[in-house]
Structure 1
Amino acid sequence: MPIESLKILFNRDLNQLKTEIELYQNESDIWTIQKGISNSAGNLCLHLVGNLNTYIGAQFGNTGYIRNRPLEFSLKNIPKTELLSKIEATIMIVDNSLTNISEEDLKMEFPLLVFKEKTSTEFMLIHLTTHLAYHLGQINYHRRLLES
């Protein structure tokens, strides 16, 4: 999969994440959990930012990002403006970091063991696009449920 295609997909979905967070009319709803939903939109947003900064930014952009995954799910009531700033920064980090990856690098082993077995960088980047899209859909559904 060409790097340019990955950049387009990440950019599209991260910008949609920004839109979804902006669409919450009541800012406190971003952090609402109800009816068997285990994660708020805010926590899913923090999780996506942490995930992409870890596996793309730190690995390929040498950002020095240190992930604290438990905080992604335990922090609450971060202002909408701060979430939007984090997403915007992540858009730039992902885009810049992907620029550092060559087509040959895609075939190389991903530097971290994330799953039970090692994977290629290409596989990991494709996985990250689907992971982003999955949680983006959850956030969209969460917002629409609360607004109905």
Structure 2
Amino acid sequence: MVSQVLRTILNRDLNKLRQEIASYRQESNLWRVDKDIANSAGNLCLHLVGNLNTYIGATLGNSGYVRNRDLEFSAKGVAQEELLRKIDDTIQIVDKVLSTLTEEQLKQEYPMQVLAEKTSTEFFLVHLATHLTYHLGQVNYHRRLLDSVASTVHA
């Protein structure tokens, strides 16, 4: 069942995001940018949480979540513990909503047009999973580049 596969992948990668955010040696480095690195790990985390809560929680699960996408990229200095709590909450809502979807619902058109063309719910959920993975790789690289021992000494 595709919904179970998606639940497994999104849960795995959200937990990996949690691990990455928790692994920063210096909390302030979550918000660092340098040279051509335009987005901090903190902002990428807020973006992923906002994205999944919007397109899975609110749209498919009627959670009532209201997104402020601009704030996902402009907020600075959100505490590491708060980011981790937001990830934990997102893990719960994603799992809850995906556990209720039927194969028939997955084949139906996604309730809103987000991409250039209308898609099935199944296609859009795969898109969300790959979007998460893409930014998860950026967070991992950000942490290894900007939270290294050398960068914490010079911070």
Fold conserved between structures, TM > 0.5 = yes
CA distance in 2, matches of 1:125, 1:70: 23
Following superposition, the deviation at residue 61 of structure 1 comes to 1.6
1:7 aligns with 2:7: yes
Partner of 1:66 in structure 2? 66
Aligned residues: 148
Following superposition, the deviation at residue 116 of structure 1 comes to 1.6
1:135 aligns with 2:155: no
Partner of 1:17 in structure 2? 17
Partner of 1:42 in structure 2? 42
Identity %: 61
- The answer on whether the counterparts of 1:60 and 1:100 sit within 8 Å (CA) in structure 2 is no
| Residues 56-111 of structure 1, C-alpha deviations (whole Å, 9 max, x = no match) | 00112210111110000000000000000000000000000111210111110000
Structure 1 gap segments, 5+ residues each: none
Higher Cα Rg: structure 1 or 2?
2
Cα RMSD after superposing both structures: 0.9
Partner of 1:120 in structure 2? 120
- The answer on whether the counterparts of 1:21 and 1:30 sit within 8 Å (CA) in structure 2 is yes
1:31 aligns with 2:31: yes
Give the 3-state SS of the residue equivalent to 2:138 in structure 1.
Answer: helix
Q: Could you list the runs of 4 or more consecutive aligned residues of structure 1 that deviate by over 4 angstroms after TM superposition?
A: none
Give the 3-state SS of the residue equivalent to 1:119 in structure 2.
Answer: coil
Partner of 1:110 in structure 2? 110
CA distance in 2, matches of 1:59, 1:98: 12
| Residues 14-55 of structure 1, C-alpha deviations (whole Å, 9 max, x = no match) | 000000000000000000000210100000000000000000
TM-score, normalised to structure 1, is: 0.98
